[in-house]
Structure 1
Amino acid sequence: MSTGNWPRIGVAALGAAAVALATPLPAWGAGDVTDTATETFEVRLTPLNGSGVHGTGTLILDESGHEPVLTVRLDVNNVIPGQLHPQHIHGFTADGPVEGKGPQDDATCPTGGSRNQIEGLPEEAQRPDRSLALEEGLDEYGPVLLPLQPFPVPEDRDYLFVETYTGDELDALNLDEVALTNRHIVIHGGLVDGFDRDGRPDTYVASLPVACGEIEMSR
């Protein structure tokens, strides 16, 4: 029997074609495509108020799921042992307390000119002009957006903090519209200029800013 002009097709090719025809095509609906976007950020903490507190940090933002997940790791040095150290991500918002600042404005670390804008803060200090209070730094770093809780109470002069945040906890960061690089991290808790009879500072103020760092894209 003549095969005419039909091409000769090998058995292997026929098998591959059959498998391809039997395999269903993927559905390309919006809910079927997974976004695997993960970004890594870093922060270098430098001292405020002459505290000597410093450190580094890493932030990993995972937006591959139905809601973003932010993991924060901080390695902080030269803190006061046995005392509560509040720590936050600060930044500006549309309806925040800092006039003329909005979500797209970058937070910054306070400078020397920020201090002594509010007389008597902190009240415990004998020379409050030497201490930058939390409120006095708002114009630079903005209000608290995300408290990095649980706040550590280190046993020694250093602490390592690792925590993950998701869902409603991240709402104030407004990650859909504002880059995380617009934000800063501020560590609080230090001694002010009240002295004991031996000349050592003995007044601990938990709200006192002691270190600050800009959140940057990891290199």
Structure 2
Amino acid sequence: MTGHRTARLSAFLALPAALTLAAAAPALAHEGHGGHQEAAAAKGSQAYQIDLEQLNDSGASGTAMLSLDGTKLTVKIEASGLVPGQPHAQHIHGSTDGHDFHCPDASADKNGDGITTTAEGLPAYGDINISLTTKGDTSKDSGLAVDRMPAADKDGKVSYERTLTVSQDVVDHIKDLHVVQHGIDPNGNDKYDFGKGKSELDPKLPQEATAPADCGMVKGAAVGSMPSGGVETGSGGTQGIESPGLLAGGGAALLAAAGLLAVNRRNHQRTAEARTDRH
């Protein structure tokens, strides 16, 4: 009798342990699958893609990537359709105090001359937060430092990369910011001239040199975050599990516990039959 109780107790204790292992297996497998991303997220690493779309019918477009590691911001920009051989001022615009700024549309052209100037665009995309210079200062003060801005090659392409140290406010509000590149060529002569007048920012510069050429806003989730919708449930499969051995181990433990229960039932039946024979 004592042996029967002991066996039954062992089976009872084995089952919750097996269930726990089986339940933990997908979580452990998921952790293995996204371990590097989760580790990166834990360290504060984030990455965002920005699609740059033309303004002022410039024909410019491109992609910017903003990658944060703590307060280190790496900016990579690949753009085309810009004015060949000319410097293109570029900035991260927007607010880090909760204001909602965005890329302007054609309605920003208040005087109807066909050009949305920097001054006309500012109410939409906000003031300069970071000047994306090739070297030196990156504050608002360098917003028109055309000698330290990237120049487009002969095909109108700009390839830019720089790592900067930014404030915690920028880190906390990175999704509220956006990238703007400046410099247009409305008369198609492959240079900046005063055909559209002087820049309202600096009368020594032509309007063409400072008018926005393209703009893009941060989009997408941070690298390492949970995909939209969370973990898929209810499929009953193991797709996406990097370590199926863990799941198999949990299943084996469940089978072992079930087998132990079956043996105990058979032992119980045999004991009952023996008692019946004795009587």
TM-score range, shorter chain: 0.5 to 0.7
Using the TM superposition, give the Cα deviation of residue 217 of structure 1 relative to its aligned residue in structure 2, in angstroms.
3.4
TM-score, normalised to structure 2's length?
0.50
Report the equivalent of 2:69.
62
1:210 and 2:210 matched? no
Using the TM superposition, give the Cα deviation of residue 218 of structure 1 relative to its aligned residue in structure 2, in angstroms.
4.6
Equivalent pair of 1:73/1:162 in contact (CA under 8 Å): yes
Using the TM superposition, give the Cα deviation of residue 202 of structure 1 relative to its aligned residue in structure 2, in angstroms.
6.3
Three-state SS of the structure 2 residue aligned to 1:206 is helix
Using the TM superposition, give the Cα deviation of residue 155 of structure 1 relative to its aligned residue in structure 2, in angstroms.
2.0
Identity in percent:
29
Given residue 161 of structure 1, which amino acid in structure 2 is its aligned partner?
A: Y
Alpha-carbon distance in structure 1 between the residues aligned to 2:48 and 2:173: 11
Equivalent pair of 2:192/2:209 in contact (CA under 8 Å): no
Find runs of 4+ consecutive structure 1 residues off by over 4 angstroms: none
Given residue 163 of structure 1, which amino acid in structure 2 is its aligned partner?
A: R
1:49-72 Cα shifts (integer Å, max 9, x gaps): 000100011111001xxxx10000
Structure number with bigger Rg:
2
- More divergent stretch after superposition (39-48 vs 104-113): 104-113
1:101-153 Cα shifts (integer Å, max 9, x gaps): xx212221101111135xxxxxxxxxx71101001011110000000012111
1:108 and 2:92 matched? no
TM-score, normalised to structure 1's length?
0.64
Equivalent pair of 1:116/1:131 in contact (CA under 8 Å): no
Using the TM superposition, give the Cα deviation of residue 201 of structure 1 relative to its aligned residue in structure 2, in angstroms.
8.4
Flag the structure with higher helix content: 2
In structure 2, list runs of 5 or more residues that go unmatched. 1-41, 135-148, 194-205, 223-279
Using the TM superposition, give the Cα deviation of residue 86 of structure 1 relative to its aligned residue in structure 2, in angstroms.
0.3
Report the equivalent of 1:142.
126
Given residue 77 of structure 2, which amino acid in structure 1 is its aligned partner?
A: L
Three-state SS of the structure 1 residue aligned to 2:175 is helix
Flag the structure with higher strand content: 1
Cα separation, partners in 2 of 1:206 and 1:218, compared to 1, 3 Å:
farther
Using the TM superposition, give the Cα deviation of residue 183 of structure 1 relative to its aligned residue in structure 2, in angstroms.
0.7
Query: RMSD in angstroms over aligned alpha carbons?
Result: 2.3
1:51 and 2:46 matched? no
Alpha-carbon distance in structure 1 between the residues aligned to 2:186 and 2:67: 34
Given residue 152 of structure 1, which amino acid in structure 2 is its aligned partner?
A: P
Report the equivalent of 1:20.
none
Alpha-carbon distance in structure 2 between the residues aligned to 1:189 and 1:109: 16
Three-state SS of the structure 2 residue aligned to 1:130 is coil
